[in-house]
A = this chain, B = another copy of it.
Amino acid sequence: MSDPAAGIPAELKKYRASIDNLDAALIHILAERFRITKEVGELKARHAMPPADPDREKRQVDRLRRLAAEAELDPDFAEKLLNFIIREVIRHHEQIAGGGRN
């Protein structure tokens, strides 16, 4: 119990339990986000709207950078992550639009 090294795995284990909980939350929020963007993709395909919307994306990036800064998260990382998610969404929208037209 007085061995300092013995405390490391226990402390790390606690942090990892929190990380695992947060990751499960991330997965479920993303699953819900993709449920909604799938609806958006189908709506856009039905009305022949373009899959991407640069003005909307610019507003999203600006807002998320501000929210990230307030939460002490690196705004550049937040922007890169949003772009990563949006690229996946646009890929889905293109698949939906392509599937509806071909």
Contacts and interface: CB of A to CB of B under 8 A. Distances in A.
Given A15-B40, A18-B36, A31 B72 contact: yes
A77 B30 CA distance: 10
A12 interface: yes
Contact count band on A: 35 or more
Nearest to A40: B15
A16 B56 contact: yes
Nearest to A16: B56
Interface of A: 5, 8, 11-12, 15-16, 18-20, 22-37, 39-40, 43, 47, 49, 56, 60, 63-64, 67-68, 71-74, 77-78, 80-82, 84-85, 88
